[in-house]
Structure 1
Amino acid sequence: AESGPGERDRAETGSADGVSRAAVASPAAAVVQVHSLADPSLVTDVPGLWAGADHFGPRAQVDTLLAVRRAARVWPPLARLLERRLPDVLPLSEEELYDLLGAAAGRLGAAGVTVHWPRELTRGLTATAVVRPAPGTAADNFDFFKTEELLEFRWQLALGDRPGDPLTEAELDLLAEAHRPVVRLRDQWVVVDPELVRKARKRDLGLLDPVDALSVALTGTAEVDGERVPAVPVGALAGLRERVTGDLAAIAQPPGLHATLRDYQLRGLAWLDRMTSLGLGGCLADDMGLGKTITLIALHLHRAHPAPTLVVCPASLLGNWQREIERFAPGVPVRRFHGPDRTLAGLTGGFVLTTYATMRSSAAELAARPWGLVVADEAQHVKNPHAATAKALRTIPSPARVALTGTPVENNLSELWALLDWTTPGLLGPLKAFRARHARLVEGGEQAENDEAMVRLARLVRPFLLRRKKSDPGIAPELPPKTETDHPVTLTREQTSLYEAVVRETLARIEASKGIARRGLVMKLLMALKQICNHPAQYLKDGALTTRSGRPRSGKLELLDELLDTILTESESAGAVLIFTQYVEMARLLEAHLSARGVGAQLLHGGTPVARREEMVDRFQSGEVPVFLLSLKAAGTGLNLTRAGHVIHYDRWWNPAVEEQATDRAYRIGQTRPVQVHRLITEGTVEDRIAELLAAKQALADAVLGDGGEAALTELSDAELADLVALRRAA
């Protein structure tokens, strides 16, 4: 009924049988009793509509009749009220009552007419899709990724005020057999939606495989007959959901770790421990510089598994892994499974480090060994599930798998599928089904549909992927303003051959020389070795950055690519990299290499005009250019480049004060983010030896730190010089 003038009040009339009339009363409202002709007992008498209505005003009857007439234009059955002497009771057929319960109520509401149902009449019958282990399946220790058992999927109905007390099978049968819109359930009348009757009749929705069941459990929704409906897990599946989505329990730092983990690293350790102990695996996708390596080392110590941990990483990161393990977990065995003399004989525990290329060629040998944990570092290398490397990695069994990457998604969601399908096989289902169910909706489509798909996908993958950024509120305060990292890198076979040949030939000439000639030869030797460590193309001046087959000629350049791929993908760091080298010719090679890879870069050196220098600084500071290549001497002082969050020293200067001045181009007043400094050092070479001496501040370090720099090294004896430049092989 439509309200007229005056104060609005609601009035209801009761009945002895507990259900009868639905109405809205107002100063000029018609009280409409609704009943079904199929159940005459529901009809009760009420006082005359107009009795005692004088206080509503002289126009109450007229306004009410006009309101009923307007409402009848929206819902024709109301016109029958106008045929009665008093518009007090309107008998309805089942079809009309169904209509009033559904679409008609909406149309009336839109027209300003509200339908009120008595409190005694419960409309809140709800249906929820539930997933539970099928009959005969053990509820405990149900392995959702290895079992071939299916899970039961069916409708569960409950009264609105009792969601935790679903209808019994007998009550569902009663509802399914109902042919009236009002049913007596649990001593009360219930208005029944015809759609719920259909669900009661067809309550079994079939069986789900474990992957689809887990997806339902984590997203809270399921698709039934083309419609997305709420869904809940029951039993063991509900228990698994609670374990992977619940709050993390506090975890203590393992006693064997020679470091102090920050709070966010302890949380990462607790998360990794939970996922690996459940046999589910996970992807730690923290930003570069947040300590993924040390967190993984802590996980190895915490698990104390008798079987070794296998780490698969790019060749350029082998040295870094070995040094980090030796630094933070001294005494833990670490072995490189790499090179022609690699072997797994006598392996008992600790860490085994290998490269993606070696893993691919030796997958059968690695798969034959028991591993306590398999780790894929820079796991974006296996983002293509159809590539040989990814296929080989999947053949290595392990009770737990962890992917480490700062860039879990670079181009499309299929890359995310590849990572999580390796860490937790079967989690996201087959790739084709995943793309149909999630990726196509997220990557394209209508905005509303896109947002809904994003929410569902996030609920599904969030428990299996831990992503923290340096800019996160809980992490930024814990970071130091400047972090310095030495990145050891292995020479390529070509670099090794060149290095050893130059050392052998030049040392022979030095031993036969004296005075100024000898000093000149020493300087020439050091220069040649540093160029070889940078790139064979710099030493040979042949301009070829890769071999004819496309393989990298320089371990440093390969590592630089790894760093840049990660840095430039991180949103807060994009376009914020300074690369220093002391050689202009090396900077030109890097510029050509980055240009070929499609990475925008600009080069500043001693010959750059002043006006051009200022223009280049402005372009970098405004974000137009992602990478700034700089000659150490020309750009080591006097520039303000605070947009950079990363500084990479491609080669080492003998005097660290010069490097620090270069770093201060970014780490200076005006900088608003932590600065990460990366020094690339070739393992076992003169670069490595000088770095050790500088860090240890031994006797020779004083000479290197002084103004003499490289010149001081010319005064070393033949034996000392030979020891300095000799190539040390990795153990």
Structure 2
Amino acid sequence: MRQAHRRSAPVDVYNIETDTSNYFVDSILVHNCHAIQSRNALATRTMRTIASDRRIGLSGTWHGNNFSGAYAPVDWVWPGLLSPSYYSWLDEWAEVKMQCPKCFADVESDDEQCGRCYLTFTRKKRPISSVVGEKNPGAFVKSLPCYFRAEPFPQPPPALEVVVDITPDQRAQYEDLEAQAVTWVRDHDGIEVPIVADLPIVQRQRLRTAALGELALDGEGEIFFADDCKSAKLVALRGVLDEFDRAAGRKEKAVIFTDSKRFARVTARRMQAAGYRTVLWTGDVGETARERLKADFVEDRADYIVASIASLSEGVDGLQRVCSKVVWLSRSENALLNQQSLRRIWRIGVDQAAFAQVDIIARRTLDDGTLRRLEATQTRNRAQMGLTA
């Protein structure tokens, strides 16, 4: 990056934290430009301060999980192309639905009361708008002055589904949560205490957690999974890994994903105790340790990586050259994170013929509904980016 005088110079690479005041550059290329999809984020505001002749954004998922994320990257690349009002742009291009601010049920804009929770709408408690997609999927990108979409690698094969029945105690906890957003678990002294989930998103996360294994509370009142907790998913996981080995006629490496860091820890410890050469990859693992874990996996000192989805979604390459198997103990509700995590394995260099991914789904839980919703989100996002397959 150079000062305002202009002359031929080598290309310099700067992090977004660099002081950008009083700079002018010939061209700016933003890799992973979905990082500026939020209109008011620091990264977005920083990029707007840098003057340049040419701007280029690169990303396979440039508007993130929601069509509303398309505004900021395009507004940065072509200042003045879009309406200066974000909401006017939404009116023109986005499909919007109205929801109750309390229970998030769909309502009509002229409703006086929610039909589910019976909240009476007032000036302070009025329905909120939610962007659910593009009015005409693919139309917005067709309107842009310059848009290239390269799909050099085919889409991954769909995941095989292994459906399990959770344990009776898990089912009891799950149904308590489902019925009244409260469940009773035993604390470290063996006394039953309630976990309360008073918000829909919290309740949903509690339900998803309860589908992984039997819950307990530690001495500080925090939810955790005991190392010996009963889990139908872990029983099924062993069967899936054994089947990978049997089908290949040799030991097959695999990356095992879950959206729960707590459950990732338990899974890794259980696998290690059972003799599986396993490493744990979560957000608590530093950069140096991650390089060591990656080396252990690639250089055949470990056969399995158990990872929290968010921690293994960007910036890792090379796993695909020794591994072609992925197991999902649970998915993130963020479709973008799921897709990016899968792309750590499904990328150039993987053995496509040997590739397989498996979803372990708990019967009669949110697992199934979440998976179907994520599939619909991915299909909608691809259509909005101008893709048909």
**Greater relative CO (CA pairs within 8 A, separation 6+):** 2
Higher helix share: 1
Q: TM-score, normalised by structure 2?
A: 0.48
Larger CA Rg, structure 1 vs 2: 1
Q: TM-score, normalised by structure 1?
A: 0.27
